[in-house]
Every structure is written in structure tokens, then in C-alpha cells.
Structure 1
Amino acid sequence: MIQYPLGMLLLTTMATQKVQIAEFTILTERDNIFCDDDDLVIYGRQFMLFFDACPNAFGGLTRLNLENLRFGESDIPNVLNTCKRLNHLRLFHCDSGSWTVLQVEHTQLSELAIVNCSFERVELNSLPKLTRIVFEGWISFEDPLSFGYVPLLDTVSLTNVSLSWHKMIKLSKFLRRTPSVRRLKLGFNSEKQIWVQPECLTERLAYVFHQLRFVNLSNMPEGYDLTWTLFILKAAPNLKELYMSVWDHLCEMKTDAKERKSLSYSENKGAEWEPSATAFHHQSLVTLAIFGFRARDYMMNYVRRVVETAVNLKDVFLYDRLTCDKCRSIPSRFPPKWKQDCVEKFITNGIKSSAIMQFQTIGYLRPDHVDKLWFL
């Protein structure tokens, strides 16, 4: 936690001078991995004492980042009410005790990130200027996030490790109050259970996806059927770009069987979707990018299905598997150059398509792909 005298000096300066952009970050001595309940309570009290000592200074903040804090029930609403200029708020590993509901209202907030916070539910009641939300890691049995008045919401990023007791989310219901969303990221942290329920949407529900232009399906588990993702194509007629990464990131996954069982990790095998008997064509998709492509039947058949469905597809980018510094030594199963022609012929055989297929290694990742792969 920031030293009190230094913090007072900084915030007093903000309170007495006009500052266009003011960002404040609270860091705790202990990392979130090692923080227990007592630590959260102590850090939370320290922050609120600091906050209560200089509310005028906090009123000038435009960006606020908080971590490892346990708040009282009314603390976060009080912080939001005091920080009237705030346009960015990030809460990491914060809560207000067991199974509490966080209600958020603010007139200026445009970016909100709630990451690994133990709220039963987050209710975005009134955020008239909110354009982006990042919501990662929830504990709720039911829908963990609800949208109230968010008329400008453009970008949504949802990431979770789906446990055996989690309810699968129907996006048409989950996002029904956000028809303005154009960019959507769904993250699965390489886990076997997909937390999205594939749907056959009625016309009444399809309006939710009508504005979608970009979808990123992040860190899907390797080896499982990808056909379920086609329901997004069918539901989003104006979608331009579909990105997906398929990656068993062993450095971060729970692999011990006993530990997985104790933590209620699911052993379900992906997700299934029963498409209608009538084939559909997608007129808008121009780019398909897959990171972690392997020359396996389930993946080649999936790319073939997209190429056949997206009649105006221009580019198909097939990348090698993603890596981090710890897992660079894992053997790649990307098709070698001598086999890439065979893979392309298998995918395009009998299909009239002008799409250009490009096989890429991660070492030559295009800058525009980097931005979209890791956005938010």
C-alpha cells in the first residue's frame, strides 16, 4: 500500500491544482495469490481511511486501479459518488464480503474492469457513458452480470474458468440490454467446459448480435469440436472478423487430477450445437484468423465449413500455436510447408471461394493481429 504521507502529498496537489488526467493505483504488499481474508480486510480498511482523509483530492481522479481490497457494503458506491470525474475503474481481486451484490452507477465512467472479484453479482444500473467492460472470473451460480442503462456500450470482454457448478450462459439473454455492442471477446482459459450455451436464435433474440463486427474466442481448449462457434456466425449477420485461439496453456492450467476435483473443475468435453437442417450463407465475414491451428480433421473440417459458409471471405490466417516464455519448448504440431498445400486443398476442395489462405508462424505475427488477439 502507498505510504500515507506521500499519498497525502500527491492527492493534496491534485486537489489544489487543475489536472486534466489523474490516475491513481493502489498496490498491496502481498500479491493476490498470497492474500488471505485478513489481508483483504486490513488493506481495505487502510484504503478507506486514506480515502476518507482526502475526498476532495479523490474527486479529481480520472483513472483508479484497486487491488486486494475488501470493502464495506457501501464503500464502493461512496468511492464512485466522490470520484465524479472518473472515466476508468479497475477492480482486481476485490470484494465486499461473502455473496454480495455490487451495484454500479456513475455519470462519467467509460471503462470498467472487474477481474477475479468475489461478488455474487454485478449490476450495471446506470452508466450512460460506458463504452468498454472487462469482466473476468466469477463465482455466481446464475448470470453474474446484469446490464441496466448502458446505451453506448461498444466493447465487451468476458473470461471465465467454467466450474462444474457454473450455469452455462445464453448470450442472447446475457447481452439482451446491449444491442450496441460491436466488439466481443469470450475467454475460456484453456478449460474443457465451454461456459457459453450455443443457441438456435429466433428473430426476436437475434437483434442482440446485429451490430457485432468483431468476435475473439480466446484460449479455447485443444482437441474439441469447434462447430458450436458457428452459431455466432448465424446470429451475427454483419460480423466482419472472427478470431480464435486454440491453446492448452499448460503453464497456467490446473492439471493435477486431485486438485481439479477439489476445486470443482469440469471434465465436460467442449460444447455442442445442433444446426438447422438448412445450410446458411454469411455475407459479411471477410477475415478468419485461427491461432493454434493443427492439421487435424476437427480443425480442417471447421475451417472448410467457415470457408463454405462465408461466401465473401477474403483472408484465412492459420497460425502456429501460441507460446509464453515458459512453454516455448513444447513441440509444435503446425503443418510443415510441404504439407500446407495438401491442407489447403482439403479445405477448399469443391468450394468456390476467393479467400486467400495464409499459414503463419507466431514469430511473424502481424501487428494488427497482435492488437486484436490481445485486445482488452
Structure 2
Amino acid sequence: MEDGNREDMLSNLPDHILLTILDRLNVCDAARTCVLSRRWQQLPAMLSQIKIDVLDFLPEGTTACYQREIVRINGAAVEATKSIMSRRDPSRNTIHLLSMKFFLRDNDTISIGHSVGQIMATHKVEIAQFAILTEAHYSCRGDDDLVYYGRNFMLFFEACPGAFGGLTRLKLQDLRFGKSDICNVLLTCKQLKHLRMFNCDSGVWTTLQVEHLELSELEIVNCSFRKVVLISLPKLTQMAFHGWIAFQDPLSVGDVPLLETVDLTNVCLSSHKMVKLSKFLGGTSVRNLRLGFESEKIWVQPEHLTRQLASVFYQLTFVHMAEIPEGYDLSWSLFILEAAPNLKELYLTVWDHLCTMEMDREKRRALSYSIRKGVRWESSASRFQHRSLETLVIFGFESEEYMLTHVRCVMEAAVNLKNVFLYNRLACKMCRDNPLPSSFPFAETKKLLVEKIITSGIDSAASIHFLAGKAIWASHVAKKNFP
């Protein structure tokens, strides 16, 4: 500011630029701007993006949610919702994003639902999201609590049909529904495009049947359904299915003509049967596939190429096999290469992530974790050629014979391979505090030696890149973490 000029340059910006800035803030920070000037007081009522996250009301530096804090911050979220909705400028009819995250607590949630329902009745809302938390997520609770929260959710749902009728995204956790509750929710939420359920069920060993005209993204994570049946989802493009409890046909796929991205992750115990992907994904045209093993037993049954298998994998262009247990033969993964002639990118993450694994031997035995985690497979073709694969990426590469052999096999089969990216072992913060021994070739002389071993006798034009430390390419991060 110049001497004597009490008007700052920021306040001189036009409304649409200031609103663009405020749209990037959470509701707490946006509300604080009201004290800057009379002009700024009007701006929060003009926002095109309204994002209220109950966790933003926690004191700075606080991560744990206790009973007293939950009551306080949920109340703050209710008051913020009422304030913003009541002051909404009626001349600005379109809200591009309305995102609400709050705890499921009796009258609090109904107050939020009524406020959202009223704003939906008077405004066009392009994206409307509810992310509903429960206290059970922050403390060890039993099945009775899931039933309690399931009933509370349905009371909330039945009291606020206007809000749920306009939702496009819904995230639920820690709920036990009645037999027809999920069906009723889907019938009411006609605009729903994204549904995520975490630790939800309808009672032990029940079947979840999903049918919806608009749903395009579906996430089912650690839910205790005996089976998930996708009856008819004509617009479904992405699906994540993590942690199924039955290995006898846990997923049935019906009319899903647009499904192209699938993420399947599970911990396989010694008693579990292996899954045949040709049956799991029958009737789909999946292009992007992620298979997660949580550092435990391989649950995929390698299959030899058949006409049926070829039709399932024909459209595949990208595959990521994630958290493959360390130290086991990787040749089984080549069945994907044989079965998917149009595959362009193959990613493997080989990682015993000790921070998340059950390491106690007695508990592993009691819970039936497998001692042997690998799987044997022999190719039906002694030498096959793959003409589409261009990129091989391995996270957790070690200079061990089983990995060197695997890279050689891929380079030998993929005649048009362009690049091989070999990263050292991944590490979270806890892993970095307790690093494990590594045989990754960090020194240039060792890199040259490993490259010579891999390429000896192979006619391949592919370039091998050894990448250590935190320097993961942005494009690789995006692919590794999809969808």
C-alpha cells in the first residue's frame, strides 16, 4: 500500500477473480475473509463452490477425534451450513460444487439435510456430495454400533428426501442396513454418479444387488457382503472392490457395457480359493485393471489363453499388480501378457509393507494367514511375442534372481518394448524410520552390471532406467495410484 492509501490492491480485483480465490479455500478460511472489509463480507454468499468439512473445525495440529470434540465440531459444521445457506445470493443460481462432510449425529444431520434440501430447491447444483462419518470409525466398536448408525442414517435419509434426491456423490461408512435399505437409497438418489461404501453391510453373508441408471463410479471397501451383483449399471465406468469375504464367486457382473476401470484388492488367507479373472470380469471390456494383494498370498489363478479369456482381456491397455509379496517367482504374472494382446503398460509393485501387515506369528496362525504366498504357473507357449507393450514399471526392484529373470522374460516377449523403469523399494514414513536392507543397484557400476545380466542374449531396443529415492515420475505416480 502507498502512504495514505488505505485500499489494498487485492480488494481492487473484480468479483469473479476474488471468488475464484475463495473457491479454493475451505469454509473456515473463506469465512475469515469477511472481516477484511464490507465488500469481502458479501463474497462468501456468492461462492460457486461450498465445501464444509467437519474436520476443518478441529484445532490446528489436532488429528484425533474424541467424543467431546466430535460434538463441538459437528455443531460448528451445522452452524456454518445454516449461515452460508441462509445468506446465499439468490441471483447466483448455479452452485458448481456443494460438498458436505459431517458426523452422523441425530438432529445435527437433519439440520444439515434440511438446509441442503432448501438450497437445492432454489438453485441449480451441479455436483452435490455427502461424506457421512461415524464415531465408530474412530474407536473400536462392535456390530451393535453398526446397527445403531445404520438406523440413524435411515432416519436421516427419510427425513431429508429433497437433499438425497439431488445428490451426485455419496460416501458412507460403518453402517449396517436393513434388507431393502440400500435399494431404497439408490431409488431415491436418482442423480447419484458416485457411491462409496466402507465397512457397510446388510447383515452377515447377505448379497448386495446394485441397479442404477446414472451411477458411473462404485467403491465397495471392506464390506461384509457374501456377494456383490451388478445387475444393470449402464453408465458405470469405474469400480473398486476391496476386501471381499467369500472366494466362491464374490462378484457377479451383469449389464455394465461402459465399465473400463476396475480395482480389485484383497488379503488372501490359506483357506481361500483362488479367483479366475475370466469369470470375475466376464461380460466386461475392461481397459485399466489394478490387482492388489496387500503383501499376502496371490489370490489370482493364472489361466491359459482360451477364446473366453481372450474376450475378457482383449481391451486391456494398462495393468498394475500392487503389493505383490517379496521373494516369490513372478512368472505367473506373464499370463496377463499372453492374454492381453493390446496391453501397452505393465506396472508391478513388489512390497512387503511391514507397517500394515500382521507380523505376530501366533495371530497369523490363528487368522489362517498363508505361509507360502506364491503361485506356480507355466506358459502354454514356450516362446510368445507381444507386440503392443511399450512400458514396464517395477516398484520395489531388487537385484535378486527371480526379479532379474522376470524382467528378462518380459523384455524377451515384448518385442516393441521401449522403456523399463526400475524403482527401489517403496517406503512410508514409518518404513523410512526403520529401513530394510536392499540389493537395489544404487552405484553406477552396479547398475551397469545388472543391466548387462538382464539384457545378455536378448535382442531388445528397450532402455532400462534405474530410479532410486523419492524421484518417482509424476506420470508413474498417477498410474500407480489410479483410479
SS of alignment partner, residue 359 of structure 1: strand
Question: 1:11: how far off?
Answer: 3.3
| Correspondence for 1:254 | 358
CA contact 2:113–2:160 (8 Å) conserved in 1: no
Where do 5+ consecutive residues of structure 2 fail to align? 1-102
Pair 1:330 & 2:438 matched: no
Pair 1:42 & 2:144 matched: no
| Correspondence for 1:301 | 405
Alignment partner for residue 65 of structure 1, among 171, 175, 191? 171
CA distance in 2, matches of 1:41, 1:207: 42
Q: Deviations over 1:192-211 (max 9, x none)?
A: x1000001121343111000
Q: How many residues were matched structurally? A: 374
Pair 1:184 & 2:289 matched: yes
| Correspondence for 1:97 | 203
CA contact 1:35–1:68 (8 Å) conserved in 2: no
Identity of aligned residues (%): 61
CA distance in 2, matches of 1:187, 1:63: 25
Pair 1:245 & 2:349 matched: yes
Please tell me the residue identity of whatever aligns with 1:249. H
CA contact 1:105–1:126 (8 Å) conserved in 2: yes
CA distance in 1, matches of 2:112, 2:197: 22
CA contact 1:32–1:93 (8 Å) conserved in 2: no
TM-score, normalised via structure 2 length: 0.76
CA distance in 2, matches of 1:121, 1:314: 41
Q: Deviations over 1:250-289 (max 9, x none)?
A: 0000111111122221222311111125310110000000
Moved more, 251-260 or 33-42: 33-42
| Correspondence for 2:450 | 343
CA contact 1:176–1:208 (8 Å) conserved in 2: yes
| Correspondence for 1:161 | 267
The verdict on how the C-alpha distance between 1:237 and 1:368 changes in structure 2, with shifts beyond 3 A counting, is same
SS of alignment partner, residue 363 of structure 1: coil
| Correspondence for 1:357 | 464
CA contact 2:293–2:322 (8 Å) conserved in 1: yes
CA distance in 2, matches of 1:215, 1:232: 8
State how 1:1-376 maps to structure 2 within 5 Å.
1-2=103-104, 3-4=108-109, 5-31=111-137, 34-178=140-284, 180-191=285-296, 193-328=297-432, 329-331=434-436, 332-337=438-443, 338-376=445-483
Question: 1:88: how far off?
Answer: 0.3
CA distance in 2, matches of 1:322, 1:19: 41
SS of alignment partner, residue 11 of structure 1: helix
Rg comparison, structure with higher value: 2
Where do 5+ consecutive residues of structure 1 fail to align? none
CA contact 1:15–1:60 (8 Å) conserved in 2: no
CA contact 2:400–2:439 (8 Å) conserved in 1: no
Moved more, 57-66 or 201-210: 201-210
CA contact 2:247–2:275 (8 Å) conserved in 1: no
If asked which structure has higher relative contact order (CA below 8 Å, sep 6+), I would say 1
CA-atom RMSD in angstroms = 1.2
